[in-house]
Amino acid sequence: MKKQFVKDLAIRNKVNDIFYIRNRKLLERRDGGKFVVLELSDKTGSIEGKIWDNVNDLFSESVPGNFAKVEGDITEYMGDLQITISHIFKVSDKEVSSQDFLPTSRFNIEDMYKELTGYFDLVKDKDFRTLLDNLFSDTEFVKKFKAAPASTGIHHGYLGGLLEHTLFMLRLSRSVPSVYEEIDYSLLVTGLILHDIGKITSYTYDKVIDHTDEGHLIGHIVRGYEIAKNVISKISDFPVAKKELILHIILSHHGVREYGSPVTPKFAEAFMVHDLDNLDARMMMFRDETEKNRDAKWSEYHQFLETRIFIKNNHAE
């Protein structure tokens, strides 16, 4: 079992533990030599590691997608902690406990799933209800849907993250029928539940959360489209117009082409799925930054929120 986790590391700590190598860069030093920059992670977060010496010997031991025993010192560069690595060597998966590398939702998985399936009763359209019932009658799909993360770390990057993210979007949608009477709530609920189903095959999460080859090559949007289209094809007399609406919601839920959607939202329910997706993902980013900076007033610059986060709980009255 690990004893040193990323979230607990502090300046001048000695490091001697196992980490997962997520990324690696071989860069040039000013003197013409080489150095290596690694992204090392465990269930609590990621930290940069740098190899300055014995680069040729240690490079082969620092292969991304593997676990490694890391020895070194915690130093600081431009306000960020990093590990200056003196030695690193690969370890086998047998030496690794998944409990050290797989974060899990703070909420009970079965309770969340029961609540989510309760939304099926709000789907009054018989075709959309049949689609949901048929998809969620597949025990293998349900097993993956309950376990899958929603990302590798951007938001809901933990076991049960996909389920939690989907459920929170459904909760956010509850007031929609009373505010926007023109919205087809059956279509909206179905779209919310299905929008990210492609993520069940986009990530690996047996020992650590990372992208699968399919996740990199195909992506969850296209895979989700394929899953939904396949289920619909097995439902006799499923209306073509309704099929196109559901598939459009899946394809457009990232909102713009720059973020991976091949089409932009073309009707209100599709736009609402995109916005609720965006809202819940960003609220999770704010929550994560607040929890990581309990003793600070401001976070570091957040790449996706494009700002520093004000930790208002630490602001003196």
62-72 per-position pLDDT tens digit:
999 899 999 99
Look at 285 and 251; give whichever has higher pLDDT.
251
- Among 96-110, 218-232, 238-252, name the one with the lowest average pLDDT: 96-110
- Does 135 reside within a domain? yes
Contacts 24+ apart (CB under 8 A), 202-206: 203/148, 203/149, 203/151, 203/152, 205/102, 205/147, 205/148, 205/149, 205/159, 206/98
In the predicted model, is pLDDT for residue 270 greater than 60? yes
- Does 297 reside within a domain? no
Lookup result for tokens 């957040």: 302
Residue range 99-157, pLDDT digits in tens = 899 889 999 999 999 999 999 999 999 999 999 999 999 999 999 999 999 988 777 88
Q: Which of 105, 107, 153 is nearest to 285 (CA)?
A: 153
Are residues 171 and 156 part of one domain? yes
Pick the last residue of a domain from 98, 121, 136. 98
Average pLDDT, the chain: 91
Are residues 155 and 34 part of one domain? no
pLDDT band at 283 (very low <50, low <70, confident <90, very high): confident
Are residues 226 and 183 part of one domain? yes
Pick the last residue of a domain from 40, 71, 98. 98
- Does 30 reside within a domain? yes
**186 in Cβ contact with 124 (< 8 Å):** yes
State the total domains in the chain.
2
**5 in Cβ contact with 20 (< 8 Å):** no
Are residues 138 and 260 part of one domain? yes
Percent of the chain with pLDDT over 90: 71
Query: What is the 3-class SS of the chain, one letter each residue?
Result: CCCCCHHHCCCCCEEEEEEEEEEEEEEECCCCCEEEEEEEEECCEEEEEEECCCHHHHHCCCCCCCEEEEEEEEEEECCEEEEEEEEEEEECHHHCCHHHCCCECCCCHHHHHHHHHHHHHHCCCHHHHHHHHHHCCCHHHHHHHHHCCCCCCCCCCCECHHHHHHHHHHHHHCCHHHHCCCCCHHHHHHHHHHCCHHHHCCEECCCCCEECHHHHHCCHHHHHHHHHHHHHHCCCCCCHHHHHHHHHHHHHCCCCHHHCCCCCCCCHHHHHHHHHHHHHHHHHHHHHHHHHCCCCCEEEEECCCCEEEECHHHCCC
Are residues 143 and 256 part of one domain? yes
Q: Which of 193, 176, 171 is nearest to 250 (CA)?
A: 193
In the predicted model, is pLDDT for residue 250 greater than 70? yes
Q: Work out the average pLDDT over 48-53.
A: 95
Which stretch, 47-61, 238-252, 278-292, 294-308, has highest mean pLDDT? 238-252
- Does 58 reside within a domain? yes
Are residues 199 and 64 part of one domain? no
Are residues 11 and 123 part of one domain? no
> How far, rounded to the nearest angstrom, does the alpha carbon of residue 108 sit from its chain's CA centroid?
18
Are residues 41 and 183 part of one domain? no
**Entry pTM:** 0.81
Question: 36 is written with which tokens?
Answer: 């290596």
pLDDT band at 316 (very low <50, low <70, confident <90, very high): low
What CATH number is associated with residue 24?
2.40.50.140
pLDDT given for residue 257 in this prediction: 84
Cα separation of 200 and 162, whole Å? 8
Range of the domain at 78: 6-98
Look at 276 and 12; give whichever has higher pLDDT.
276
Pick the last residue of a domain from 56, 78, 98. 98
pLDDT band at 288 (very low <50, low <70, confident <90, very high): confident
